[in-house]
Structures are given as C-alpha cells and as structure tokens.
C-alpha cells in the first residue's frame, strides 16, 4: 500500500508542474520528440528495457515556402552497460549531435552532447532513472548575408555601407550542462506509464555575438522539459501511445500532445503500421505515419500550421523524418531480450 502511495504522489507532483505555467509556442524543435529521446532528457540514455542499444537520426525542414527554410538535423545513439554486474539495474551511455541552419545558413548552431544515466528497478513494477549530460555548443552568424536599416540608401540595401552594428564575434563557443530524472511504472502486462523531468543549461552559459562584458544579460535561461507517456495494448492487435511534452525556457514555452497507435501486421508483431495525430498548442496539427520492421522504425510527420502564420505560408509548416534502429548485443534482428523489469507492453 505504501509503494502505491508513492506512485500517486509522483504523478500528482508532475501534473502540478505542468499546470502552473502558461502554455505558448516555441520555435526550433522536433515534433517527433519521442524519437529523439536524448535531446529531451539525459535520463533517457539507455532507457529501453527491451534492447541493448539504439541508433537514430532526425531531419526537419520548416517554412520552406517562405524563402530559406529552417533546417534541423540530429544523429544520436545510446547503449546499456553493466547489465550483468547489477542485479536490479544498469548504466546507459550515449551521445548526440544536433545542427540548426536558419535563413540559408545565416545563423548556424552545432551542438555535441554526451550523457550517462543509471536505471534502478524498484520492486516488481517500478524503474527509476537519473541522468546527466554535458556538451559543447558552437553558434555562427554570417554577417555578410545580413542587411540593416543603416544600409538603406533610399532605393535598395547597399551592403557596402557600414551598418554600425556592434558585432564582437561571428562565432561563439560555450559549455552546456543538463540533468534529468525519469520514472516508469509497469502497471500490468498491457499498461505502462512513464514520466520525466529535465533541466538544460544548468550552468547558465553566455551566448552573444556582441561584447560579452557589456551590461546586457547574455546568459541562457534554464530550459525545463516535462514528458508524460503511456503504452496500452488492446486485444493483442493495437498498442496505443498517448503522450504529452512541455518545454519552458524563459518566457517561451511549447506544448505538444497526442497519440501514436501501432497496428500489428504480422502474427509475431515484427511488422507494424504506425499512425498518429498530435497538436502543438496555438501552432499546428501534426499527423504521423510510420512503419516498423523488426527493430527498424521509419516515421514521417507533417506540421499543418493553424496559427496566424498560416496566412503567409498556406498552412504549410514543416515536414520531419526519423529513423531509429534498436538491437541486442550479438543479435541479428527480431530477438527478444530477457527483461529485468518483469512487465513490458509489447507484441
């Protein structure tokens, strides 16, 4: 009874965290946050009880019909270690590369992170994970591609005119720290829940292309990510995956909620159709379609703009593609791993 009480208190605390903030939209993101787990929470590193390792890639192209599109891409991977050393736990280690290009390369960022997490089984139905991450970030701006009001000569923007802008650097580097916690509750063989909270930019790094010693506050605000997720198997034919993601950084926030549904296409579940629908509050509807064969998954989504920007881009927001490959050490695909968690929702 005492253990069940801890489950209830944990969920109430996380739901209260979501309720106390005003929900708004935020740019530069992956709609398929569930297929970029290391970018959401370092505690997700190695958080896959059914597999020993994962490798993934994501690509997003946004607002292409408004000129130069925003392009975001990442590759990531993680693996479990010391599974045989710990009777009721394991260590996860991973890394991720993320690149953003805005306005045809005018502003570019490159981020490289490494993360480590420890996963501890709690009783017969709980799993607690704690993770930490560290990375290096480089941001560059090509000033030659920018124009300023001082360069307007009455007829056109003349790039030979000095814009009198106080650029101090065109490339900056800084060190970034992050931490997170994740809790999973395996209610039955057919129902699973998990929730996570992470904090990015814990060390409040400075990010500016101007004089870093000026009186302007150029420290990054911490970024808080909250994720609630569940998996529910129905009649051994469908696995429903409702989830919600919330991110807050300074005064900017993003909320995405919806559901994926995996439909078994083969008797052993090795072939699955993925269908889904999500909504980013105040911004866009996000239909999702994908296909999984053994441990290889392809997922595609399209963001249809519902905000006032839809009048300019014809409701064409973004498209996104992800590929995730999972596996077991020494396996050739399709194997089943012996789980330390006694209950897992799977075909």
Which residues partner with 234 through β-bridges? 238
Q: Is 340 within a domain?
A: no
**Helix (H, G, I), strand (E, B), or coil: what is residue 165?**
coil
Q: What is the DSSP string of 221-260?
A: PPEEEEEEEEEEEETTTEEEEEEEEEEEETTEEEEEEEEE
Measure the CA–CA gap between 144 and 188, rounded to whole angstroms.
Answer: 60
Question: pTM of the full predicted structure?
Answer: 0.82
Residue 120 within a domain: yes
pLDDT mean over 210-231: 85
The total of structural domains in the chain comes to 1
* Residue 316 forms part of a structural domain: yes
The predicted model gives 104-119 an average pLDDT of 88
pLDDT for residue 55 is more than 80: yes
Give me the CATH number covering residue 210: 2.40.160.40
Say if 346 falls within a structural domain.
Answer: no
Would residue 339 count as lying in a domain?
Answer: no
**Residue range(s) defining the domain that contains residue 297:** 2-327
Residue 344 lies in a domain: no
Is the pLDDT at 119 greater than 50? The verdict is yes
Q: Regarding predicted confidence, which is higher, 15 or 215?
A: 215
pLDDT for the residue numbered 219: 87
Q: Residue 337 falls within a domain, yes or no?
A: no
Give a yes or no: residue 50 inside a domain.
yes
């Amino acid at each position: 009874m005492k253990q069940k009480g801890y489950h209830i208190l944990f969920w109430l605390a996380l739901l209260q965290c979501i309720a106390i903030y005003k929900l708004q939209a935020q740019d530069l993101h992956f709609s398929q946050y569930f297929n970029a787990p290391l970018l959401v929470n370092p505690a997700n590193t190695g958080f896959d009880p059914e597999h020993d390792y994962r490798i993934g890639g994501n690509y997003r192209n946004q607002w292409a019909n408004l000129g130069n599109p925003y392009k975001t891409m990442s590759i990531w991977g993680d693996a479990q270690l010391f599974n045989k050393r710990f009777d009721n736990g394991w260590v996860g280690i991973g890394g991720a590369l993320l690149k953003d290009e805005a306005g045809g390369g005018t502003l570019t960022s490159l981020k490289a992170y490494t993360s480590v997490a420890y996963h501890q089984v709690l009783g017969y139905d709980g799993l607690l994970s704690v993770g930490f991450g560290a990375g290096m970030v480089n941001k560059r701006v090509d000033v030659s591609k920018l124009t300023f009001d001082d360069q307007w000569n009455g007829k056109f923007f003349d790039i030979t005119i000095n814009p009198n802008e106080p650029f101090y650097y065109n490339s900056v580097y800084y060190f970034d720290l992050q931490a997170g916690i994740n809790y999973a509750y395996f209610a039955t063989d057919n129902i699973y829940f998990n929730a996570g909270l992470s904090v990015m930019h814990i060390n409040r790094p400075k990010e500016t292309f101007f004089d870093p010693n000026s009186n302007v506050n150029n420290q990054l605000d911490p970024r808080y990510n909250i994720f609630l997720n569940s998996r529910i198997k129905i009649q051994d034919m469908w696995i429903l995956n409702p989830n919600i993601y919330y991110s807050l950084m300074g005064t900017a926030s993003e909320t995405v909620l919806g559901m994926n549904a995996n439909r078994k296409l083969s008797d052993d579940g090795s072939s699955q159709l993925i269908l889904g629908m999500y909504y980013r509050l105040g911004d866009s509807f996000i239909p999702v379609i994908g296909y999984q064969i053994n441990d290889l998954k392809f997922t595609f989504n399209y963001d249809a703009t519902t905000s006032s920007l839809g009048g300019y881009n014809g409701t064409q927001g973004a498209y996104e593609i992800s590929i995730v490959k999972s596996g077991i050490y020494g396996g050739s695909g399709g194997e089943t791993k012996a789980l330390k968690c006694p209950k897992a929702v799977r075909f």
